[in-house]
Amino acid sequence: MPSSSSAGWVFEVAYAIAGSPPGPIPLLVGLSAVATRAAALLRKRAVVLGGVTAVLLAADFGGAVADRFGGLGAPGTSGVTWGGWSSFTTYTGTLVP
């Protein structure tokens, strides 16, 4: 289990990158990555923690894909970034003309 100082470090880095408090999945992914590294150093439970990290990464990726296809709600809904494929392609079209 990561110490409270490593959990705080993960939260602070995520907050600095995003500019707002991280959501639960990114925060759990970061914490599990720290826990996996600590377990590897201690040679205990690395396989289990690695599996947990893989599941959390898959959930995070699945959520991002669902958001791009409108699976999490309409644009402007709380917790929704894109809200649909057309919003995503419009924005990426401004980045890559």
> What is the reported pLDDT for 3?
45
Task: Give the integer Cα–Cα distance in Å for 23 and 3.
Answer: 20
Query: What one-character-per-residue DSSP string does 3-44 give?
Result: -HHHHHHHHHHHHHHHSS---HHHHHHHHHHHHHHHHHHHTS
Per-position pLDDT tens, the chain of length 97: 444 455 566 666 766 776 666 666 666 777 777 777 777 777 666 667 677 778 878 888 888 888 888 887 888 787 778 888 888 888 888 988 7
b/e map 12-34, b = 16+ CB within 10 Å: eebeeeeeeebeebbbbbbbbbb
